[in-house]
Each structure stands twice: as C-alpha cells, then as structure tokens.
Amino acid sequence: MNNNNWRLSVYFNPDCIPCVINQALRAAKLFTNGNKNLQLKILKEVCEEVKIINEVFTAPHFSAVIQEIVEKNVKNENLYKELKEKNIKIVEQFLPLLQKKMEDAEDKLEESIKIAILGNTIDVGANPNFDIRDEIENYTSEDYSPVNIEQLKNSLRNAGSILYIGDNYEEALFDKFLLKELDEKDVTFAVRSKPILNDITYDDAVKLGIDKISKVIESGSRIGGTDLNYCTKEFIEKFNSADVVISKGQGNYETLLDEARPIYFLFKVKCEAIAERSKSPIGSSVIYYNNSTAQN
C-alpha cells in the first residue's frame, strides 16, 4: 500500500485526462437536456477535480468523481437506469443467436468464455459508441490467445470455488452462459454496491436471474472497478480464498491488475492506454493472466 492509501495499478496516464474529460462531456450532454450552461458548470467542476489525480490514481476512480458531479448537478442518483434498460432490450434480441452458438459448439466451456468476453463490448464509459449488433454478427473465434484460453479452461475445470467479478449490467446476459457452464462449482458473482455507469448492481443481477445460477454478493465497490481498500470483508475473504478469480472488463483490470493473487482478466480493449498496458490492440478480446507462475 502506498502513501496515498491506494493499492492501484494502471496508473493514470496523462493521455487519460482528455479522455475522462470527454467522458464527462458525454455524461453532461446525456443528462442535461441541452442546457449548455449546466454542461459548462459540470465540466468546470470536473476539471477542478483533476488536481486530485496522482500517479497511482486510476481512470475508474475518476469516473466515479465525474458521476458524483453529474448526479449532484442533475439531481439524479441513477443516471444510467434508462440507458441500461434500453441496451438490455437490444442485447436480449441476440440471445437466441448466442444460444445457437452454444448449442453448435463442440467445446461449450470455451464458447461460453468467448461469449462472456464479447459481452464486454458494451461500455458507456470508455466506449459509448459500441455496436453490439455488429460485434455479435462479426464475432469470430480467432481473436483469443489459445494458450491463455486453454489455461483458463483447465483452471476452471479444476476449481472448487470461483469468484466472478462482474462488470456491466447488459454484459451479464453474456456472462450467464459461462456461469451456467460452471453451475456445478461454488461460484460467487460480485456486483457493484452502487449504480456507477452501466455497471451491474445487486438488483440488476436479480433481475437477470443470476442469483438462480450463482451466489451474488456486493463487492462494496462504488467505482467502475474494484479497489480492494474499499471492498467489504465478505468480498475480500472470497477474493483471497477462491480457487479462481475471473475479473470482467477494463475497469476491474485497471484496479486489480497488480494484485498478488492470480486473476484471469477477461475484457475487450477500449483505449490506447490499456492497449499499451495489455500489449493488445484496441478492439481485441483479451484473456490476461496476471501471474503466470502461480499454481491454481
């Protein structure tokens, strides 16, 4: 743990600053009904907060700062509720197609892992212009490290207990295929403890019926990632004891990457800073293992 009481890893890159300010602009425009004065007020408040950034600060922490400023200014504490419901209706249309892919697959565990990563395309923070229809229709199986997927499959087959750290709400419909493949294991699905961006909350998980396949717990996180300094005791215990931890999405990657315990990070690369850090180009599907020497 460093002097700033952060235990974080993908340091805030100067390149991230225009990007988060742009994220703030998009949020401001989305929730202010064209009120440019209010947009300017929000952006000024966001820029004022840039001073708190230091070299061990991550983008998901700053996204939470942005969201608090927008919430306060537009007097709405569940900003993305409507957008999430709109997105999920779109995703639901593709469930039969994904179901067919699962039925046709020879290796159903592998197929469900690929579908779970594909779901990470959905992101209103880093990349609001995702086109899930296009992603699903142009989805191929070529896009993964075969070594890592074999290792992950082996780890999952041998695991008794699994912690699955969820990411976005809509994405969880894709995660369900993998959760179903793992339903004989002791799987815990962790969600955020407040609505942040389009991330999944406890109520969201219940709405999608995830509680019928896995245990669902709140992580304690109120940012679009997982900062262990702010997680619940229950989550930390599970994080430390699970045979396998799966972390979905870029925000969880940014905040958990340097943790000592082995973690499988499943995500789509959405920006240059993460492309550089993960050595995978923007748009690629990643299975990133942070501890290649660990046994699991």
Give the interface with a copy of itself as residue ranges (CB under 8 A): 12-15, 17-18, 21-22, 24-25, 28-29, 36-37, 39-40, 43-44, 47-48, 50-51, 53, 55
Question: Which CB sits closer to a copy of itself, 24 or 172?
Answer: 24
Identity of the residue, 3 or 37, whose beta carbon is nearer to a copy of itself in the bound complex: 37
CB of 256 to a copy of itself, least distance (A): 22
Q: How far is the CB of 44 from a copy of itself (least distance, A)?
A: 5
Q: Which residue number, 55 or 203, has a Cβ lying nearer to a copy of itself?
A: 55
Distance, CA of 65 to chain centre = 17
In the complex, minimum distance from the CB of residue 61 to a copy of itself, in angstroms, rounded to a whole number? 15
Q: How far is the CB of 53 from a copy of itself (least distance, A)?
A: 7
Nearer CB in complex with a copy of itself: 56/109: 56
CA atoms of 81 and 68, how far apart (whole Å): 15
CB of 56 to a copy of itself, least distance (A): 12
Q: Using an 8 Å Cβ cutoff, are 40 and 69 in contact?
A: no
List all residues 6 or more positions away from 96 whose beta carbon is below 8 Å from its beta carbon: none
Q: How far is the CB of 85 from a copy of itself (least distance, A)?
A: 27
Read off the amino acid at residue 173.
Answer: L
Nearer to a copy of itself, 127 or 161 (CB): 127
Residue type, 185: K
Count Cβ atoms below 10 Å from residue 294 Cβ, excluding itself.
12
Dist CA 101 CA 32 (whole Å): 41
Beta carbon nearer to a copy of itself, 40 or 294? 40
Closer residue to a copy of itself (CB): 25 or 236: 25
Q: Please, what is the minimum distance in Å from the beta carbon of residue 25 to a copy of itself?
A: 5
47 versus 282: smaller Cβ distance to a copy of itself:
47
* Nearest approach, Cβ of residue 11 and a copy of itself (Å): 9
Residue 37 in tokens: 């004065």
The number of C-alpha atoms within 13 Å of 279 and in the hemisphere containing its C-beta is 4
